[in-house]
Structure 1
Amino acid sequence: MLRKIIPYALLRGKYLRTQSIVSSTKSCYSLPNVNGSFCNCSSNKLIGHLVSVNDSGKISLSANSSPCLRLFHCTSLSSRKCWECGDVLTACDCFCKCGKIQPVGQTLTYFDALGYPHPCVEIEPHELTQRFREVQKRLHPDKFTQKSSYEQKLASDASTFVNRAYSTLARPADRFQYILSLNGYTGDTTEKEKMDPSFLMEIMELNEDVHNTCKYLCNKNPGDPSPSELGERIQKLVCHISGKIEEEKKNVIRLLKESKWKDAQHTLLRYRYFLRTFEQLEARELCWKGAGVSIKLPTGPL
């Protein structure tokens, strides 16, 4: 009798721990797979577990469905039919084999629209631009002048979606936020209130430095710094702020790849703070040139 009770107790304990794992998984929207790409775990499609006991009394868990959580690439998510010929399509297909353009799929992501098999945290700008141009070639209005008004509307909708996809993915900060949103994390309304006071003080002081340095550019008075002195000050600010931006950017990339969504969202806020400060400095570029100040700005998107 004792031999039967002990396995049952162990089984029940294992079951309760399993239930705890499944329960805690409900707040987890996606995880990286073994290849480093992102997978999505919907809260209503949790992987169930079966508890089994072998002849030796060893308890084990086995999945009753595939343990590989679904990829974002929408070809694995759903299918639909062509409105013209009825052929089966994936959610990513913009055109059917019969040549008819299709409505934008509800599960289509910006990455899908531009041909990426899964969300990419890091994207090479030139490659992104090439993908964008290739897609837009097929959606150009000239290709639909002889088509029905319905097809013209579909092409216009698809083109708008692709434009929005390109605009979002081309800017690192927007791309990072989009990946977070795909994983169900859009940030907390009180997130800014949780920022470290010392960090907010650092940002405030940087903004003051930008303001105090740039005010000499538009209003030249006797005793003000010379153009060369101003150039040195501004260049130092540019290097300091852009360095901070790159540091936070690397942190966001690392956290996203590790699927640490909350930490990534918090770090993304820091990243955006430095970006806004840099944009204030960059907005004075015409004033620099007017004052005879030459500044070297970073190349590529920050």
Structure 2
Amino acid sequence: MRACGTARVTWPGPALPVTVAILLALLAGCTSAPEPTGTGRWGPEPGIGWQWQLSGRLDPTVDVPVYDIDGFEHKASAVADLHRRGRKVICYLSTGAWEEFRPDAGKFPASVRGKSNGWAGERWLDIRRTDVLEPLMEARIAMCAKKGFDAVEPDNMDGYRNRTGFPLTAADQLRYNRLIARIAHRHGLAVGLKNDLGQIPELEPDFDFAVNEQCAQYGECDALTPFVKAGKAVFHVEYELPVARFCAGSKRLGLSSLRKRYELGVWRQECPKGRS
């Protein structure tokens, strides 16, 4: 909320009644109403269990509190079914890369499509072009909200560290990631920071949780501690390390860790209970 004006008002006598104080503050140049103390959004806590399934037929029977599934591929009925089973549901979207197989792919002009991000049919986006991308991402996130999702997992949020075909800077990435977080919050959804470890100190206050791939394999998990210290979950997966190689460290750091295969199907392996 922007700061109020600097005009001073003298009130003779006892303390100002609250309603009068608010009125005088507005007259003095404070045009924004006080922000609510609570957001009403879901806030997953460190260590919560989860399932991440982006391919194959959805299996809703995994006994965990959180599911992360593809926002385009699943109908509102699938989200409602998971809710009936007591799950919170995260909507996976790509916000930093163009995907030729999505129904809105034709709405992205060629000028914002860069180099391949390494996945078939996907190209990095020119995140500087918020005039083009903001309404497209608003529509995607609104779709998640309409289907009843609780949160958004925006993917490809670290283009500035990759060969995108555009001269993206860290400042460009900060602005864009904060824009995505604001859009999600406008629609009442929690939002996770996907990877982008180097900008966690700046971005943690803007996001409600984190999603990370392979921090143990690359010795980077300590970088996620600002989220845990803030009481926010870190949903973490490893693909190549056996659970014996990362579970102890994950539990020490308070991460919600799984081993998954790269296709992110039903298969999952979680850390054994009780191991420290």
Tell me the TM-score normalised to structure 1 length. Answer: 0.23
Higher fraction of helix: 1
**Bigger Rg over Cα:** 1
Tell me the TM-score normalised to structure 2 length. Answer: 0.24
Which of the pair has the greater relative contact order for Cα pairs under 8 Å at 6+ separation?
A: 2
